[in-house]
Amino acid sequence: MIIQQHERISWIAEHAKRLVKGLCQLYNQPAHFKNISGEPYLETHHIIWLAKGGKDTIANTVALCPNSQRKMHIQNVKKIQTFQAKCSNTQNPSD
């Protein structure tokens, strides 16, 4: 069995989370809970998965609540395309 690992750039994930100021980019709602440091708990998601040729870049990374993150991995392709469009519309929220 061959397992392929993708090298990730840690500051990109952190930047994606800070950019959205605690809001899930899929639903534009606050994170459901906070981490041990008291910060909103969000997970980063690559719009085009690394395993499918996506890049570890700011433009390809969004911050999602855990439910949205899982949803992006489970839903069928048509729904994922809708989610991707919605996430890209909130990529750069206004200050």
For 24-78, write each residue's pLDDT tens digit.
Answer: 998 889 999 999 999 999 999 888 888 888 889 988 889 999 998 888 878 755 5
46, containing H or E segment = strand 43-46
Beta bridge partners of 64: 43
Three-state DSSP at 32 gives coil
Q: Which residues contact 34 (CB under 8 A, 6 or more apart)?
A: 40, 41
- Output the pTM of the full model: 0.75
Residue 91 confidence class, pLDDT cut points 50, 70, 90: low
